Amino acid sequence: MNMLEDIFQSPTSLSLFGVTIALLLFHFLHSNFSSQETQHPPGPRGLPLIGNLFQMDLKRLDQSLFDLYKKYGPVFQVYFGPQKVVVLAGYRTVKQALVNHAEEFGNRETNPLFYDLNQDYGIVFSNGETWKEMRRFALKTLKDFGMGRKISEEIIINECHYLIKEFEQCEGKAFNNIQAINYATSNVISTLMFGKRFEYTDQIFQAMVRRDNETIHLMGSASLMIYNLFPRLGPFLKNWRNVMQNVNDNKAHLRRIVANRKESLDPGICKCFIDAFLIRKKHLEDSGIKDCHYLDENLLYSVMNLFSAGTDTTANTLKWCLLYMAKFPQTQDQVHEELSRVVGSRQVRIEDRKNLPYTDAVVHEAQRLANIVPLALPHATSRDMILQGYFINEGTTVFPLLTSVLYDESEWESPHSFNPSHFLDKEGKFIRRDAFMPFSAGRRTCLGESLAKMEIFLFVSSLIQHFCISAPPGVSADELDLKPVVGLILAPKPQELWAVRRF
């Protein structure tokens, strides 16, 4: 009692006592609030420094995270070494984050590998004002060149003719269609980027496409995931060295293309994306406006981003579509019957799509089941955020698990089966599904989505119109392998198919 009296009689002691009580009260309230309102997402217990690395298969990270989703729910966290990653799973959760809270979940994570590849320039791996301006410019420019409209349709149809000729050359024998499809999709984006297409026999073009394909594959390797945790290991990792060599070689080639476009530039005639960028840059300079975004490096990396995205993902989607056609011949027969009835022997046009509901449904279902970008590219939160009662710090790496959206059992009747009825109503009319999210969603949705959709539909329908795609003689459709080659995207295994001319 005397001690309490002494405390209250001493002004200094009384102040310290008050501060102590206030701190204890704040701690109690904060702890109570944190436990009820701002608790962190659940997840598996990890080891110091290593985190949950040994609990996941880095060769099929999407599957490991999908399994954890079933255990911990749609918002959970894992540790890649010391780095915390929040995983978003299921259609409703991914939509809530990327669409309803697009600003908060709209940043791109800049890990060591992404920085090595882009140096914070370009469109895909940049943030802030650079990203906003480059994306805005790219969208406007590509639309000006007809992305998703009549002009790009003519570019795609023209390339369809070249691809059909490639298939015709292999008639009567089994062949691997990988390279021809790679070159066809690459030529569509090349025409928009560079104002020209390339012959499939052009060795420089072949090398550029090969390096790009290899880089995208290696970016999903386990060794480069480890590199992001321990970047000092880079020079000792073969995959890192190969990726950097590929990127540097492609950059050197693109610099030569840009230099040639500069020499022949006529500000009154804009023929391609590079021209549009150079004209914009010159206009700003002539006006005395200093703009830190229209730099040669932003041009170089933006072209690299668009070339890669416009080549690899679209090409692999086409390969999956043809593989499914060979795997499910009855489905292919129905597609061909619809094409013959509606289009006949003339060239398929994009306006035909509304009258080809089954063909459209098959293309969508192939894209859904192929699930070629199961994790999307990692996001980062732009501010502190509470999602479904869980607190997520600013700057947290976020993985939108697109596998869980495209295979969401609450959205798809048979999520793990090839079922075109997912996109058809009872009357056989095509229906759009909100959970169809192969291009991701929100601020970071694929820039070339409309172009890719047009390409996939026109290429697939044109090829099925002209060819019967099947397993080669002596191989049954059941023997075709649907297990993917795992990289940054899921590609079909290289295997031979047979293309027989229909007319």
Q: Domain of 343: which CATH number?
A: 1.10.630.10
First to last CA, the chain: 105
> Which of 131, 150, 156, 40 has the alpha carbon at shortest distance from 393?
40
- Full domain range(s) for residue 456: 113-373+421-501
Which pLDDT does position 89 carry in this prediction?
98
The reported pLDDT for the residue numbered 24 is 37
Does the annotation list 446 as a binding residue? yes
What CA–CA distance (Å, rounded) separates 169 from 202?
Answer: 18
Q: Is residue 53 part of a domain?
A: no
Residue 20 has pLDDT above 50, yes or no: no
- Residue 63 within any structural domain of the chain: no
- pTM for the whole structure: 0.89
Quote the strand ranges of 102-227, DSSP E: 107-108
CA 473 vs CA 239, 288, 468, 469: distances in Å: 37, 67, 13, 12
Residue 365 lies in a domain: yes
Q: What is the pLDDT of residue 86?
A: 98
| For range 454-464, the mean pLDDT | 96
**3-class secondary-structure state, position 385:** strand
464-482: pLDDT as tens digits? 999 999 999 999 999 999 9
Pairing of strands 490-492, 75-80: unpaired
Whether residue 10 is predicted with pLDDT greater than 80 in this model: the reply is no
349-360 per-position pLDDT tens digit: 999 999 999 999
Q: What is the DSSP letter of 345?
A: T
Short-list 426, 400, 399, 427, CA closest to 413: 426
Residue 381 domain-assigned (yes or no): no
Helix (H) or strand (E) holding 392: strand 390-392
Classify 492 as helix, strand or coil. Answer: strand
d(CA 2, CA 264): 94
On whether residue 156 sits in a domain, the answer given is yes
Q: Which residue has the higher pLDDT, 416 or 172?
A: 416
CA gap 352, 347 in Å, rounded? 10
Report yes or no on 337 lying in a domain. yes
The whole-angstrom separation of Cα 463 and Cα 352 is: 15
Task: Give the confidence band of 401 by pLDDT, cuts at 50, 70, 90.
Answer: very high
Residue 74 lies in a domain: no
Instruction: Return the residue matching tokens 């701190």.
Output: 23
pLDDT at 263: 92
Based on the structure, what is the number of domains in the chain?
1
> Looking at the domain assignment, is residue 257 inside a domain?
yes
- Summarised one tens digit per residue, pLDDT across range 168-181 is 988 778 888 889 99
